Structure 1
Amino acid sequence: MNTFSIRRYQPVDFQEVIGVFNSNVPDYFDPSETQDLFHYLEQEIEDYFVVIKDAQIVGAGGINYDEDQITARLSWDFLDKTLQQNGAGTLLTQHRILHIQQLPHIQRLIVRTSQMAEGFYQKMGFQVKKRVPDYWAKGFDMVLMEYQG
């Protein structure tokens, strides 16, 4: 039985989060995306959380809010590659969905992911709305999905 906990990201977590991200390169993320994550963690965080197991960060994922004031986006979520399919991704996604559901002004929840995570999000209640081939990098399509509950 894996026991995971979730807490808010803190700047001191930066290197550990990057290490977890890098465990997913090149299988789930293109190497070029590492710099994008640096920028996100330093400039674009709104709500961002880390997953802890045995006092180690093993995953992370965020929420950003669109300028329309009614749309939330799941952003930059990943788990240590060796811990995938152990319930941590489901826990992290449910945590963020519940966080968003506490915000009465948010009417729409989307995620822009790749085809590699599309099946996971479908199981979590998201439906595909749009697909753009080679969006993130060659071989990494952008799949826009919306939460249906």
Structure 2
Amino acid sequence: MFRKNTPQYFDQSEEKDLKNYLNHNIEDYFVYDVHSEIIGAGGINYFFEEKLARISWDMIHPNYQGHGIGKRLVQHRINHLNANPNIDLIAVRTSQLAYKFYAKMGFALEKVEKDFWATGFDLYQMQLKNKN
């Protein structure tokens, strides 16, 4: 699914970061499937000392984008985190290509850093207060 979203949403150089995440940094990870085919995925990482959870590595198969699957996947994780009294903030680090999606979900822009992920892929760091 990553390669199907490259170069539209990810730079090729990020594939090794995704592999590292899946092999070593995965904490909670959710998939969305239709007829046993995974068409969406995204994780959560926890920073309990900061009372923070970060939504991570969201991706939807291009054939299914624009059908509300990404929204349902993000909302599922927000609901999951709302049940956790140890989390005050939910963060997401995305790019200029997807930050408006998260803004519609209630995330507020905190900072922007040019060419963070790769050349032409800027960091948009966003946060949402947890409703726990």
**TM bracket (short chain):** over 0.9
Q: Which structure 2 residue ranges, 5 or more long, are not aligned?
A: none
2:27 matches 1:46: yes
Partner of 1:79: 60
Letter in 2 for 1:28: Y
% of aligned pairs identical? 48
2:72 matches 1:91: yes
Structure 1 vs Structure 2 CA RMSD: 1.1
2:77 matches 1:100: no
CA shift for structure 1 position 22: 1.0
Partner of 2:6: 25
Question: Secondary structure of the equivalent of 2:23?
Answer: helix
After TM superposition, the score normalised by the length of structure 2 is 0.95
Find the aligned partners of 1:55 and 1:113 in 2 and give their Cα distance: 28
CA shift for structure 1 position 109: 0.6
Find the aligned partners of 2:50 and 2:123 in 1 and give their Cα distance: 23
2:101 matches 1:120: yes
> Mapping of 1:109-148 within 5 angstroms?
109-148=90-129
Q: Could you list the structure 1 runs, at least 4 aligned residues long, displaced by more than 6 angstroms after superposition.
A: none
Partner of 1:56: 37
Q: Which structure 1 residue ranges, 5 or more long, are not aligned?
A: 1-19
Find the aligned partners of 2:34 and 2:17 in 1 and give their Cα distance: 26
Find the aligned partners of 2:111 and 2:47 in 1 and give their Cα distance: 18
Letter in 2 for 1:114: S
Size of the alignment, in residue pairs?
Answer: 130
After TM superposition, the score normalised by the length of structure 1 is 0.84
Letter in 1 for 2:34: K
Find the aligned partners of 2:117 and 2:25 in 1 and give their Cα distance: 18
CA shift for structure 1 position 111: 0.3
- Contact preservation (8 Å) 2:88, 2:129: no
Find the aligned partners of 1:92 and 1:56 in 2 and give their Cα distance: 15
